[in-house]
Amino acid sequence: MSQSEISLGLVDSEKLFSGTKPVEERHRIDGASLERWMVENVSDYAGPLEILQFKGGQSNPTYCLETPSRSYVLRRKPPGKLLPSAHAVDREFKVISALHKAGFPVAKPYGLCLDESVLGTMFYIMSMEAGRVFWDGALPDLDPAMRRQVYLAEIKTLADLHRLNPEEIGLGDFGRPGNYCARQVERWIKQYRASETEKIDAMERLIAWLPGTIPEQDRVSIVHGDYRLNNMIFYPDEPRVRAVLDWELSTLGNPLADFANVLISWAVPYDGRANLKGLDLAALGIPSMEEIIEAYRVASGRSNIPDVDWYLAYNLFRLAAIMQGIAARARDGTASSSRAAEEGRTAIPLAAIAWQFAQRAGA
C-alpha cells in the first residue's frame, strides 16, 4: 500500500484544537446547578462563573470554568448511548488524585461528582494548568534544539510514570496486574464490534492474528493508555512537562504497550497533528524512532525493548477501533467534536498501517 493510500489528510491542528469556544448546544450544562455544587464541594471556590468549552478532545466534553480569581477544568461523561466501560471520568479522577500526591505532573484534582442529577452525567473538576500544548508534532514554532528537548522530556516523563510503584501511591487496586495485552486485545475487539459501521479487511486480519501472538509481560506499571505529545502541557518557557492530561484509558498494565503508543507518531504519515512520518526529522531536530526507543530504554532502566513491531500493530489496531467508535458516535449524534465523522474515517488507513507492522512481526 502506498503512502498516498494511507494518508490521513493534513489539518491545521493549532486552529482546530487550541483554545476555547462557546459551549455547543448539545453539550450545554446547567451553570446554576454546577455553581451550587462547586460552592459545596470545591474549597475556596468563589464565583461568578463563566463556562466555555475546549475545542480539543473527541471523547469526554471538557469545559473551561473561569472565575475572577481562578480557572478550573471540568471533564464530564458525554450524554447519550455509550459503549460499555468507556468515558470513565471517575477513574480519571482517581488516578490523577494519586499521581498528584506522588508529585507526578498532573492537574490538581478538586472534586468528583457521581450524582447525575447535577449536570446529567458524572463529572470532575481539576485545576487549569497554564502552559503550551503542542498540537502539531513538527513543533513549527520551536528551533531544532528545543524540539529535541521537548520529545526527550515527553519520554522521560513516561518512564517516570512507569517506574512508580502502584501499591506505594494507592493504586494497587487500579487494575488487574497480569495479562494486560490479552485483556486489552479482547476489550478492543469487543469495542470495535460494538461500534462497527462497515467491514474493514485489515481489522479482520488483525482480530484473527493479535490474540495468538501476545508477547510475555515482564513488568506491571501504571499505564496512561493514550500517552502522546498533545495530551500534555509544557511549561511556557522551558521543555518540561507541567501536566499530563486525559487519563480515561489508564490502568495497571504492560509499560511497553503504553510506550509503543508514543511510537505511533513515527509510524503514521504527517497530518498536521502528532504524526511525523515523511518529515525530515534530522533537519527538524526531532529524534528518530530508534533514538526515542533508546531514550526510553535508558530512562526506564531496561536492557532492551523487545517486540516493538507487535506493540505497534496492537496500538494502531486499538487506535483504529477508537476511531471507529468516534465514527459510531458521530452517526448516533453523541460525539464531543464537530469533526467526529472525519476523524472516524481514519479507522481504515490506521488499520492498514497496523497490518503492515503485524506483517513485520511475522503475521
Q: Which residues of 10-39 are buried (b: 16+ CB within 10 A; e: fewer)?
A: ebebbebbbeeeebeeeeebebeebbebbe
DSSP state of 334: -
pLDDT at residue number 325 = 83
Within this chain, do residues 329 and 192 fall inside the same structural domain, yes or no? Answer: yes
H-state helical runs in the chain: 3-6, 13-17, 31-41, 89-102, 116-119, 144-163, 180-195, 201-209, 255-267, 281-284, 289-300, 308-332, 340-344, 347-360
**pLDDT, the chain, mean:** 89
Note the pTM of the prediction, 2 decimals.
Answer: 0.87
Q: Is the pLDDT of residue 8 over 90?
A: no
∠ CA 172-173-179, rounded to 5°: 90
Residue 340's pLDDT band (boundaries 50, 70, 90)? low
Q: How far is residue 250's CA from residue 10's CA, in Å, rounded to a whole number? A: 29
Within this chain, do residues 71 and 111 fall inside the same structural domain, yes or no? Answer: yes
Q: What is the pLDDT of residues 245-262, one digit of tens each?
A: 999 889 999 999 999 999
* Any domain includes 1: no
Q: Which of 56, 53, 61, 52 is nearest to 11 (CA)?
A: 56
Residue-range definition of the domain harbouring residue 59 = 19-127
Q: How far is residue 112's CA from residue 37's CA, in Å, rounded to a whole number? A: 10
Can you give the C-alpha Rg of the chain in angstroms? Answer: 20
∠ CA 279-224-208, rounded to 5°: 75
- Which of the listed residues 127, 158, 178 is the one where a domain comes to its end? 127
User: Looking at residue 233, which CATH number applies to its domain?
Assistant: 3.90.1200.10
At 272, which amino acid appears? G
Higher pLDDT, 13 or 311: 311
* Any domain includes 133: no
